[in-house]
Structure 1
Amino acid sequence: MKISGVDIRPGNIIEYEGGIWKVAKIQHTQPGKGGAYMQVEMKNLQDGRKTNVRFRSADTVEKVRLDTKDFQYLYAEEDMLVFMDKDTYEQIMLPSDLLGDAAAFLQDGMEVMLELWEEKPISVQLPEQVEATIVEADAVVKGQTASSSYKPAVLENGVRVMVPPHIESGTRIVVDVYDRTYVGKAG
């Protein structure tokens, strides 16, 4: 589906210069001289390159629709991750850098969604929130509890997050995978 360069929005997947790109940020600019344009920051989903491109209203780009499929995470093998198709039980291996920082939150048996382009996996989406156990939390400083201050804590996967003062080591909490923020205690 073709769209105008000024109709590009964050999260769109577009075809540009023979590659598949995910739009990260946009900024509409209307200079005093000349026509308005859209400054688009995007990341290549095949090789991870980032670029900034200016699109004018006369420019058109192809908006790509990705297929999604449910998979289950099985295990890691060196720098590769093994996933299983939940329908066919077929296993595939993907490089761990496809997930970026979110890879630290993968848990055995976790259900994930793979985005496919022309039957080839190009991104992995984890659940927005996961449960994790705190293995190390700083002690509360006296008088610190009066304000809504947070303290650093380390999760079982080595990720550092900021938690409220009443959270102690050994507590299971819910964490936002992509923001790496404390959501609440696990129920």
Structure 2
Amino acid sequence: MKGSYSTMLAKEVKPGSVVVHEGNPIVIVSLSVQSPSARGAATLYKFRGRNVVTRNKVDITFKGTDVVAEADFSKRNVQLMYTDPTHMYVMDQESFLQYDVPIEDAEEQLPYITEGLEGIRALVYNDECVGIELPASVELTIKQCDPSIKGNSATARTKPATLETDLVVHVPEYIKEGERIKVDTRTGEFLSRA
């Protein structure tokens, strides 16, 4: 873990980022933002991560303006091969190396991954896949949603829709079962028809 690191502000850290905390590489699994309760107080960013080496869970809190070092790792374009109850298996599209990722380490990303999804990248540290990075948006098919109600196409109301991966998102009322939609992988929100 020697050498120079690139840095970013804590508010720029996203799930899937690998940062250096107390000298250890930590892959960020999830985050929550705590707005200040007093004037002049800083917004706090609370991260749940996993130590890449020991695999222990870590909770870290930063102010949004704190500078965080990004761990030195490579991003490799991969393709999903298959999943089983404990692991997700991906293959490097250039070297054809195969990596396995424990399901609990990819829980946040699994609802967005379908067979043949382009743009998945493996975060590789010391020849080991420590996490998965998804494209900013993915296209998914609606498996089930309530039928649209005639005359409601101009309203801003939404309804829940279950997608092919069992992810549930809120879509505008005019969207129908069987349609393909774009979903933001960072927020889980409906973006548009595909």
| TM-score between the two structures when normalised by the length of structure 1 | 0.74
Report percent identity of matched pairs: 22
Q: Deviation string for 1:106-163 (max 9, x for gaps)? A: 1123231111222221110112211111121123457755531111111111111111
Match of 2:128 among 120, 123, 127: 120
User: 2:82 — aligned with what?
Assistant: 75
Cα RMSD (Å): 3.5
Confirm or deny that 1:43 pairs with 2:43: no
Tell me, yes or no, if the aligned pair for 2:140 and 2:164 is still in contact at 8 Å. yes
Match of 1:147 among 122, 140, 155: 155
Match of 1:91 among 85, 89, 98: 98
> How far did residue 84 of structure 1 move?
0.9
User: 1:170 — aligned with what?
Assistant: 178
Cα distance change, pair 14–38 in 1 and its aligned pair in 2 (3 A): farther
Provide the C-alpha distance between the structure 1 equivalents of 2:96 and 2:163, rounded to a whole number of angstroms: 31
Q: Deviation string for 1:73-114 (max 9, x for gaps)? A: 111122211111111222222212222222122112323111
Instruction: Structure 1: state its 5+ residue gaps.
Output: 30-35
Confirm or deny that 1:52 pairs with 2:57: no
- SS at structure 1 position matched to 2:10: coil
Q: Deviation string for 1:36-80 (max 9, x for gaps)? A: 99966333333362423579xxxx975423211111111112221
**Which AA in structure 1 matches 2:136?**
E
Match of 1:183 among 180, 185, 191: 191
Provide the C-alpha distance between the structure 2 equivalents of 1:3 and 1:113, rounded to a whole number of angstroms: 19
Tell me, yes or no, if the aligned pair for 1:20 and 1:44 is still in contact at 8 Å. no
- SS at structure 1 position matched to 2:175: coil
Provide the C-alpha distance between the structure 1 equivalents of 2:5 and 2:103, rounded to a whole number of angstroms: 32
Provide the C-alpha distance between the structure 1 equivalents of 2:163 and 2:138, rounded to a whole number of angstroms: 12
Provide the C-alpha distance between the structure 1 equivalents of 2:43 and 2:190, rounded to a whole number of angstroms: 35
Instruction: Structure 2: state its 5+ residue gaps.
Output: none
Larger radius of gyration: 1
- Bigger drift between 144-153 and 177-186 goes to 144-153
Provide the C-alpha distance between the structure 1 equivalents of 2:138 and 2:69, rounded to a whole number of angstroms: 35
Q: Size of the alignment, in residue pairs? A: 176
